């Protein structure tokens, strides 16, 4: 395969590659991929300056105007950063209340189990949102709980969890909040001046539209200082990574240099788009256009509009016996779109992501492709089975 050396800002899909309608890795800008064409020495001053820029910009994106927060990048995928956060900020004798309503909440609970640290779970099933009052009640009932873990956008259903009301319930009781903002940060607000938390994590390949290779923790410096000695893991010790970076400007172990270079370009594009507000607006438009089009074809969303995130949307598979997800997937791929299977346990579903280098024009083509795919399979109506509607009726208003 010939390597594309054009300096035109063409997204890969214009070169015949499919759009990734997946919540990371996602479709990145050509210039972001192009930024990886240079090798950097990890110890060199130029690369250390890049790391510093990256951290400064991410802390600013979190809305810290008082210098109370710091950013600590961690090598690995997002789950490595989640594990690093849980292992570093929760003292060994602490106890975590994990709020789960999908795969990522459950993964955090499993991480706690691996860490061998005390935890308890509120499991709301596939997609019901954990609410502030039930979190408050759980904390009142168990004074040993020191920390609460919440996923801002639970990517397995696409639900937007009510982090603000949960934060209020947590701090009203003197406990601390840890946030998995993996698939939200950069597009949805998690401003430290409005929502209180100790630490949050996200990664390079979600709403900031970089390529995979590292995650990052944004935490109160107070919490970072207090984290010394908590971690079970040398490589995942957020305090140690932070302390070493402060001292030397370097990552402790080999950094993903090309990924960092790409990320800085992605950050430049993010700022040019108008930051969190601009990016969130484009994703919202992507979702609105895509959901309206899919509904016009007869598809129904798992979630009511109130809980729909502009990140990824779950649709029920049609009841029509001619509908076959593997065929639907292949028909979408043949038209240039990679979609995502669903993760619901009760009814069949699939997901379409709204994030990455794509806009409403692309989303209109996604809807046309879905219509053609249905026609190809001989599906007359995309209406879901009654069981799906009954399932959805359980969702609180």
Ligand X SMILES: *Cc1c(COP(=O)(O)O)cnc(C)c1O
- Binding mask 85-104 toward ligand X (x if CB under 6 A, else -) reads -------------------x
Alpha-carbon gap, residue 54 to 56, rounded angstroms: 6
351 is in an annotated binding site: yes
Give me the least distance between CB of 81 and ligand X, in Å please.
8
Q: Please tell me the number of Cα atoms within 13 Å of 387 on its side-chain side.
A: 9
Alpha-carbon gap, residue 174 to 168, rounded angstroms: 10
Give me the least distance between CB of 243 and ligand X, in Å please.
25
- Binding mask 160-199 toward ligand X (x if CB under 6 A, else -) reads --------------------x-xx----------------
- Indicate the residue among 109 and 388 with the shorter CB distance to ligand X: 109
Cβ-contact 61, 186 below 8 angstroms: yes
Give me the least distance between CB of 104 and ligand X, in Å please.
4
- Binding mask 17-56 toward ligand X (x if CB under 6 A, else -) reads ------xx--------------------------------
- Indicate the residue among 34 and 152 with the shorter CB distance to ligand X: 152
| Paired tokens of 318 | 């049609």
By the rule CB under 6 A, 78 interacts with ligand X: yes
Give me the least distance between CB of 137 and ligand X, in Å please.
25
Give me the least distance between CB of 385 and ligand X, in Å please.
28
- Indicate the residue among 161 and 357 with the shorter CB distance to ligand X: 161
- Indicate the residue among 57 and 309 with the shorter CB distance to ligand X: 309
- Paired with 150 in beta bridges are 179
The interface region with ligand X, picked from 40-48, 73-81, 123-131, 291-299 by CB under 6 A, is: 73-81
| Paired tokens of 256 | 């993903």
Give me the least distance between CB of 46 and ligand X, in Å please.
28
Cβ-contact 272, 9 below 8 angstroms: no
151, 163, 204, 208: residue in contact with ligand X (rule CB under 6 A): 151
- Indicate the residue among 177 and 379 with the shorter CB distance to ligand X: 177
- Indicate the residue among 59 and 207 with the shorter CB distance to ligand X: 207
- Indicate the residue among 212 and 255 with the shorter CB distance to ligand X: 212
Cβ-based neighbours of 326, under 8 Å, separated by 6 or more: none
- Indicate the residue among 23 and 255 with the shorter CB distance to ligand X: 23
Per DSSP, which regions of the chain are E strands? 19-20, 69-75, 95-100, 118-123, 147-151, 153-154, 159-160, 176-180, 199-203, 214-220, 312-316, 337-338, 340-341, 349-353
Residues 198-237 that bind ligand X (CB under 6 A): 203
Q: Please tell me the number of Cα atoms within 13 Å of 163 on its side-chain side.
A: 26
Number of residue whose CB is nearest ligand X: 78
Whole-angstrom distance between the N-terminal and C-terminal Cα of the chain? 52
φ/ψ (deg, to 5) at 251: -70, 150
- Binding mask 105-144 toward ligand X (x if CB under 6 A, else -) reads ----------------------------------------
Of residues 220, 269, 261, 310, the one with CA closest to residue 49? 261
Alpha-carbon gap, residue 302 to 97, rounded angstroms: 26
Give me the least distance between CB of 144 and ligand X, in Å please.
26
Cβ-based neighbours of 282, under 8 Å, separated by 6 or more: 273, 359
Alpha-carbon gap, residue 340 to 158, rounded angstroms: 12
DSSP alpha helix (H) spans, 309-397? 325-334, 360-377, 386-393
Q: Which residues are annotated as a binding site?
A: 351
Binding site for ligand X (CB under 6 A): 23-24, 77-79, 82, 104, 151, 155, 180, 182-183, 203
Binding residues for substrate: 351
């Amino acid at each position: 395969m010939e390597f594309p050396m054009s300096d035109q800002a063409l997204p890969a899909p214009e070169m015949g590659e499919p759009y990734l309608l997946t919540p990371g890795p996602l479709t990145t800008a050509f210039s972001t991929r192009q930024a990886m064409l240079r090798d950097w020495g990890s110890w060199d001053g130029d690369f250390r300056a890049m790391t510093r820029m990256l951290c400064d910009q991410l802390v600013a994106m979190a809305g810290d105007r008082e210098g109370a927060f710091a950013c600590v990048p961690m090598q690995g995928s997002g789950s490595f950063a989640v594990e690093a956060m849980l292992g570093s900020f929760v003292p060994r004798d602490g106890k975590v209340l994990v709020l789960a309503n999908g795969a990522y909440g459950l993964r955090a609970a499993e991480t706690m189990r691996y860490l061998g640290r005390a935890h308890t779970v509120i499991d709301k099933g596939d997609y019901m949102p954990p609410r502030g009052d039930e979190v408050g009640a759980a904390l009142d009932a168990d004074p040993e709980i020191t920390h609460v873990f919440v996923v801002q956008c639970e990517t397995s259903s696409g639900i937007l969890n009510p982090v603000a009301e949960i934060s209020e319930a947590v701090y009203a009781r003197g406990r601390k909040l840890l946030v998995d903002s993996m698939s939200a940060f950069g597009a949805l607000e998690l401003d430290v001046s409005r929502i209180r938390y100790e630490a949050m994590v996200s990664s390079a390949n979600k709403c900031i539209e970089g390529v995979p290779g590292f995650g990052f923790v944004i935490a109160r410096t107070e919490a970072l200082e207090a984290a010394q000695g908590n971690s079970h893991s040398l490589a995942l010790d957020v305090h140690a990574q932070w302390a070493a970076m402060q001292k030397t400007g370097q990552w402790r172990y080999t950094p993903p240099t090309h990924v960092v270079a790409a990320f800085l370009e992605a950050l430049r594009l993010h700022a040019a788009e108008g930051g969190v507000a601009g990016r969130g607006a484009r994703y919202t438009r992507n979702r609105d256009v895509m959901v309206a089009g899919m509904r016009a074809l007869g598809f129904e969303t798992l979630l009511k509009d109130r809980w729909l995130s502009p990140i990824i949307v779950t649709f029920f598979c049609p009841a029509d016996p001619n509908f076959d997800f593997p065929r639907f997937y292949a028909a979408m791929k043949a038209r240039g779109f990679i979609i995502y299977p669903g993760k619901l346990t009760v009814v069949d579903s699939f997901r379409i992501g709204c994030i990455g280098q794509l806009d409403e024009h692309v989303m209109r083509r996604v809807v046309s492709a879905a219509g053609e795919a249905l026609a190809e399979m001989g599906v007359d109506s995309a209406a879901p089975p009654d069981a799906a509607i009954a399932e959805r009726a359980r969702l609180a208003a």
